[in-house]
Chains A and B, each alone.
Chain A
Amino acid sequence: MSNAGDLLKVEGLTAGYGAAPVLHEVTLSVGAGRIVAVLGANGAGKTTLLRTLSGLLPLAAGRVMFDGLDLRGVKVEKMVRHGIAHVPEGRGVVTELTVDENLRLGGLWRKPREPLDEIYDLFPALAQRKNHLGHQLSGGERQMLAIGRALAAKPRLLLLDEPSLGLAPKITSQIMGLLRDLRDRTGLAVLLVEQNVRSALSIADEGIVLNLGRIAAREKADKLADDADLRHAYLGF
């Protein structure tokens, strides 16, 4: 499934906390303008995968290439300059800062800095709460803020961890729709970690199933959604 035009190429990635690896020889790729959903039960290693890709965790073995660049040894704070934005689990909104400050933070590294109008256009709800502190926002608003902040960095690849966690279905589908639009409009690539398999597969181009840190399946999204055996075995529905 890997081809020359892939934006992100992961080969034989092994990583985890301390001596015991959580991920074992994971190989995957994400092409430009594609949404890849990473699925799996709790503890399958989904979050670890994203944290390793963005450099928060060290690589024990394997190779991560991003647009021809070996990411080993690239510091976390430099990732965003190469075009990788990571929205961590729990949204990572800095609750002590205002909405506007959070968004500015996303685009700070860019020179010259661009105005945030585009982001506020995407998320009108945020525009209304510009000067509210992060902890005053609702869960949905925080998620939008986190994604909006990542987009302010103008990334080519978005690593998105559980955007639907704790959100009402209506808001979840709003967010999913937004991601699809962005992909279609800007060619953004997304590696989407989700527990909510249905909504993830509804927008993904392909899906990867992780089980106990190993890749159990890699399929086109619609195919995965139809594969009853796989669903029963790993995804629980």
Chain B
Amino acid sequence: MTIVERLATTTKNRQKSRQNRFVPLAGVLVGAAVIVVLTYTLPPFRNYQLATIGAYLCVTAGLTVLTGLNGQLSLGHGALMATGAYTLALWQDRFNLLLPGIVLAVVVTTLAGGVIGLAAARLRGPYLAGLTLAVAVVVPSITSTFDNTFNSDQGLSVALNPPPGVIPVEQWQVWICWAGALLTVLFLAYLVRGRFGRDMRAVRDDETAAKLAGVGVARTQVLAFVVSAACAGLSGALFAVLAQSVSPGAFPLTLSLFLVMAIVIGGLGRLTGALIGAFLLVALPSVAQSIAEDAGSQHLEGNLALTFFGVVLVVVMLAAPGGLASMKFPRKIRKQKGQE
């Protein structure tokens, strides 16, 4: 795409978003209402899955802003989630105060994200991917080197008070996770609409042009990384709440890769895409496993599910290159493709 064509599409997008303008706050309030109603109707396991979607949504939303709007690819967000999760676990062990603990987890991860972001702002494309990948694989190494604090592979358990009153645990978990998720989405939605969002897109599309237009390129990139790291930290803390335990094995490189897959399949750069991605992260593996179970002999073990998962990824990417969130406009996509 030439710059002119890019500009043209950007203008088009802007017009489109003006057409179906909606207020993020209203969307989030509706979402909250839907979630609360759901928690009273769903059985416990579905509630747990719903809570997991919420926890994933925090990180996918932040990552899609970083990657989709600012063009920085991170394969290390799993490690940032681990940072948040371990912070909360260590805090809970001492103080057992959930809300301040979650805030602290976000703060610590934000700082970690700032350090990585400073390095990341100098790197492009695969070099950034390579560096963040090295960050992702360093988690087990850190937990075993400092095993007095992190307890190596076995990890830490997270002390939690039981939910207030007679609320079932799973329902309580949904409320916590989705409160975090909806706040994240609200924050990002307003952030993306403002000047910062414009700067991020400008940097993604053409760094030189952005610089000429007075956008601080490095500052925007670091800031984008910091924001997405904060979201990852929140997500990690929520996962610690969900699992009541943290261990390095729960934040492997594959998690970071799956996060990237989720936002791309969902629709890069869109919060709706992040929601779809978070949903798929929970739904797809279990659907794959149950399909494989129905079809499978014992000797295929988990392999049929794995294959099914892979086929879905490839087919979706070929059928909807803009991600599932873009599926509403199939004709437009075909046209754009013809142009290339």
A and B touching (Cβ–Cβ under 8 A)? yes
Docked complex: A1-23 residues within 8 A CB-CB of B: 17-19
Q: What B residues does A58 contact at CB under 8 A?
A: 338
Q: What A residues does B5 contact at CB under 8 A?
A: 17
Q: What A residues does B339 contact at CB under 8 A?
A: 17-18
Question: What are 8 A-B contacts defined by CB distance under 8 Å?
Answer: A17-B5, A17-B339, A18-B335, A18-B336, A18-B338, A18-B339, A19-B335, A58-B338
Contact residues of B with A, CB < 8 Å?
5, 335-336, 338-339
Which chain A residue shows the least CB distance to B5? A17
Q: What A residues does B338 contact at CB under 8 A?
A: 18, 58
B61 nearest CB across to chain A (Å):
32
User: Could you list 4 further interchain pairs (A-B, Cβ under 8 angstroms) beyond the known A17-B339, A18-B336?
Assistant: A17-B5, A18-B335, A18-B338, A18-B339
- Chief secondary structure at chain A's binding surface: loop
Contact residues of A with B, CB < 8 Å?
17-19, 58
Bound-complex Cα distance A58 to B340 (A): 11
A75 nearest CB across to chain B (Å):
16
Which chain B residue shows the least CB distance to A19? B335
Bound-complex Cα distance A193 to B212 (A): 30
A14 nearest CB across to chain B (Å):
15
Bound-complex Cα distance A236 to B336 (A): 34
Which chain B residue shows the least CB distance to A18? B335
B333 nearest CB across to chain A (Å):
11
Bound-complex Cα distance A17 to B336 (A): 9
Q: What B residues does A19 contact at CB under 8 A?
A: 335
Q: What B residues does A18 contact at CB under 8 A?
A: 335-336, 338-339
Which chain B residue shows the least CB distance to A17? B339
Task: Give the 5 A-B residue pairs with the shortest CB-CB distance, closest first.
Answer: A18-B335, A17-B339, A18-B339, A19-B335, A18-B338
Which chain B residue shows the least CB distance to A58? B338
Q: What A residues does B336 contact at CB under 8 A?
A: 18
B144 nearest CB across to chain A (Å):
44
Which chain B residue shows the least CB distance to A57? B339
B283 nearest CB across to chain A (Å):
35
Bound-complex Cα distance A201 to B5 (A): 31
B330 nearest CB across to chain A (Å):
15
Q: What B residues does A17 contact at CB under 8 A?
A: 5, 339
Bound-complex Cα distance A18 to B336 (A): 7
Bound-complex Cα distance A19 to B335 (A): 8
A57 nearest CB across to chain B (Å):
9
B1 nearest CB across to chain A (Å):
11
Which chain A residue shows the least CB distance to B338? A18
A163 nearest CB across to chain B (Å):
19
A23 nearest CB across to chain B (Å):
15
Interface centre among B5, B336, B338 (most CB of A within 10 A): B338
A124 nearest CB across to chain B (Å):
34
Bound-complex Cα distance A19 to B332 (A): 10
B156 nearest CB across to chain A (Å):
51
A237 nearest CB across to chain B (Å):
25
B332 nearest CB across to chain A (Å):
9
B100 nearest CB across to chain A (Å):
54
Interface centre among A17, A19, A58 (most CB of B within 10 A): A17
Bound-complex Cα distance A12 to B64 (A): 46
B3 nearest CB across to chain A (Å):
12
Bound-complex Cα distance A18 to B338 (A): 7
Bound-complex Cα distance A19 to B339 (A): 10
B185 nearest CB across to chain A (Å):
33
A25 nearest CB across to chain B (Å):
21
A162 nearest CB across to chain B (Å):
14
Which chain B residue shows the least CB distance to A90? B2
B304 nearest CB across to chain A (Å):
42
Bound-complex Cα distance A18 to B335 (A): 6
Bound-complex Cα distance A115 to B89 (A): 72
Q: What A residues does B335 contact at CB under 8 A?
A: 18-19
B297 nearest CB across to chain A (Å):
48
Bound-complex Cα distance A173 to B338 (A): 38
A137 nearest CB across to chain B (Å):
20
A16 nearest CB across to chain B (Å):
10
Bound-complex Cα distance A17 to B335 (A): 9
Which chain A residue shows the least CB distance to B337? A18
A155 nearest CB across to chain B (Å):
25
B339 nearest CB across to chain A (Å):
5
B31 nearest CB across to chain A (Å):
36
A19 nearest CB across to chain B (Å):
6
